[in-house]
């Protein structure tokens, strides 16, 4: 069996557009790579030599400011595609936030394969347009929303990608539990807030009964409607 045959994200990744023979051909030019939390896969400004599908784990996309600070500009999850096909340089660094597994391809080999398989190119276009929509929503979040709205929107976005279904509250609302791959400081950096502001908003949402925080990174959404209302 090939790696594609046993891939847990096969039906959600861009390669879902391929038939079994095409998958075998794609598998022949790819390889699996395991990353430890904190390990980088791509570096900002370097030649674009790799592209990859995320199989397991969460990775961050980041760029550096002139004064040496890091700005997280995106997060990728299982089934997401990373890298810049048909491009010469990498616009941001890619680093694992958690232990991760990726399916890596030489960018040149992948470009040639994509040109021969229009269905794969179509999937890439769909992913690009979806990412553009998310970027526009993120611009709204950073530019117009209050601190409370930013944190609530962030938690909703995380829950949509990381949620594990749980039990139900006495009111019948679904309880959703997930573990954040970010520290409080990283959340503050992503949202353009201070760590103190982020911590206050988490505490307020917990006091209101909207969320619960069993540990520093574990989040339970107790009242999703209230969280959505908070997000605006």
Q: What is the DSSP string of 203-226?
A: HHHHHTTSEE-SSSSEEEES-HHH
Q: Which two tokens stand for residue 136?
A: 């526009």
Strand partners, 41: none
Burial of 228 (0-12, 13-18, 19+ CB in 10 A): middle
pLDDT value at residue 26: 86
- All CATH 2.60.120.10 domain ranges of the chain, comma separated, are 14-141
More confident site: 167 or 227: 227
- Determine the topology of domain 14-141 in CATH: Jelly Rolls (2.60.120)
- All CATH 1.10.10.10 domain ranges of the chain, comma separated, are 146-231
Distance CA 130, CA 140 (A): 16
Strand partners, 220: 177, 212
Q: What is the mean pLDDT of residues 135-163?
A: 81
**Whole-prediction pTM value?**
0.76
Alpha helices in 29-146 (DSSP H): 107-116, 118-144
pLDDT band at 51 (very low <50, low <70, confident <90, very high): very high
Strand partners, 52: 82, 104
Distance CA 138, CA 119 (A): 29
More confident site: 225 or 128: 225
Architecture of domain 146-231: Orthogonal Bundle (1.10)
């Amino acid at each position: 069996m090939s790696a594609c045959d046993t891939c847990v994200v096969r039906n959600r990744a861009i390669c879902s557009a391929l038939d079994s023979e095409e998958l075998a051909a794609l598998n022949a030019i790819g390889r699996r790579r395991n990353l430890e939390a904190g390990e980088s896969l791509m570096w900002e400004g370097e030649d674009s030599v790799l592209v990859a599908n995320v199989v397991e784990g969460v990775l961050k996309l980041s760029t550096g400011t002139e004064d040496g600070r890091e700005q997280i500009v995106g997060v990728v999850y299982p089934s997401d595609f990373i890298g810049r096909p048909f491009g010469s340089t990498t616009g941001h660094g890619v680093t694992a936030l958690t232990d991760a597994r990726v399916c890596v391809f030489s960018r040149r080999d992948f470009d040639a394969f994509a040109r021969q398989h229009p269905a794969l190119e179509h999937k890439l276009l769909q992913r690009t347009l979806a990412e553009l929509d998310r970027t526009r929503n993120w611009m709204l979040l950073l530019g117009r929303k209050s601190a409370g709205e930013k944190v609530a929107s962030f938690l909703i976005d995380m829950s949509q990608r990381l949620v594990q279904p749980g039990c139900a509250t006495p009111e019948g609302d679904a309880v959703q539990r997930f573990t954040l791959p970010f520290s409080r400081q990283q959340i503050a950096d992503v949202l353009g807030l201070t760590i103190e502001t982020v911590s206050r908003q988490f505490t307020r949402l917990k006091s209101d009964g909207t969320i619960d925080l069993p540990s520093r990174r574990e989040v339970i959404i107790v009242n999703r409607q209230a969280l959505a209302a908070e997000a605006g």
